[in-house]
Structure 1
Amino acid sequence: MPTTLPVPVQFELPEGWRAAPPDEAGAPGAAFVARHPQPDAGFTANITIDGEYRPDAATLSEIAHESVERLSQAATSVEVTSHREIGSADAPGFTQTLAVSAVVGGVARDLVQSQVYLSMLDVADPRKRSVIRLILTATASQYPDAVGDFQDFVRTVRPETDAAS
């Protein structure tokens, strides 16, 4: 069952990418999944969005490390190939790229995952922090083409605003 984001967001999908039900896409914990129009050797690159309330003092870097630890339990190997802070003090973010070896659908695959973490504060109560995670997963050979679409997608993500107000 798909999860609900703690903060509603709006975004624009890159051309050709299509939304897919998270359960059917194999990402039941995600709030949203989009799939690339062209599979590569039987694997379809995908973008997922999930998030959670994080009232603790964990930094985005620490939260990203937690994700690596969880992924390491399910994959053959996970290596952080790059990471850096992004954004500003008012809108902090963190990004990391992972090289992942995993068995997906019974097939051993070398995948690349780009993860972007965005911290969003509750306007009414800034002590309430949510962290939204945006993830691109692609085969190592398809990643160079898909990452540009993902970067375009990330630039469109923002908290949803109530157009009726």
Structure 2
Amino acid sequence: MPTTLPVPIQFRLPQGWQAAPPEEVGASDVAFIALHPHPDAGFTANITIDGDYRPDNATLVDIADASVERLREVADSVVVTSRREIGSADAPGLTQRLALSAVSGDVLRDLVQSHVYLSMLDVGDPRRRAVIRMVLTATATQHDSIVGDFQDFLRTVRPDTGTGP
């Protein structure tokens, strides 16, 4: 069963990308997944979204570090190639790029992940902090050609207040 996001968001997918039921594509630990229309060497690039309430005082750097450690449990190698804090004190965010080698479809693949973490307050209860994570995963050869799609997608992400676009 797919997870749900702790706060509602709205977004638009880049042209050609298609949403898929997370449990049908082996991504039951995310709330949303979209697939790129053109696989590279048998691997389909994807954008995933997940998140959780964070009642603790963990920083976005702490949360990003924990993501890296979880990946190290399943990947042959994981290297953080860049990390940068973004946003403001009221709306903090963090980006990181990872290079990793992992088995996918019985093949060891060189992959790149671009992570974006956004800290959001619950619209219904502003005392509750949620962190939303959006991840682009692609082969190392395809990543740079589709990262612009991910950036276009990120520009459309906003809290869903139920009042329309």
TM-score (norm 1): 0.96
Once residues 121 and 78 of structure 1 are traced to their aligned partners in structure 2, the CA distance between those partners, rounded to angstroms, is 31
| Counterpart residue type for residue 58 of structure 2 | A
What is residue 19 of structure 1 aligned with on the other side? 19
Identity %: 72
**For residues 20-76 of structure 1, what are the alpha-carbon distances to aligned partners after superposition, in whole Å with 9 as ceiling and x for unaligned?**
111122211110000000000000000000000001000001100000000100100
Query: 1:46 and 1:24 mapped to 2: Cα distance?
Result: 14
Q: In the superposition, relative to structure 1, how do residues 124 and 21 fare at CA in structure 2: closer, same or farther (>3 Å)?
A: closer
Contact 2:7 2:123 in 1 (8 A): no
Q: Which moved more, 1:119-128 or 1:109-118?
A: 119-128
Structure 2 counterpart SS, 1:66:
helix
Cα deviation for residue 126 of structure 1 reads: 3.0
Query: Could you tell me which residue of structure 1 aligns to residue 74 of structure 2?
Result: 74
**TM-score calculated relative to the size of structure 2:** 0.96
Distance 2:122 2:37 in 1: 35
Query: Structure 2: which 5+ runs fail to align?
Result: none
Match of 1:37 in 2: 37
Q: Secondary structure at the match of 1:96?
A: strand
Count of residues in Structure 1 that have an aligned counterpart in Structure 2: 164
Mapping 1:4-153, distance limit 5 Å: 4-153=4-153
CA RMSD of aligned residues (A): 1.0
Structure 1 contact 78–99 (Cα < 8 Å) conserved: yes
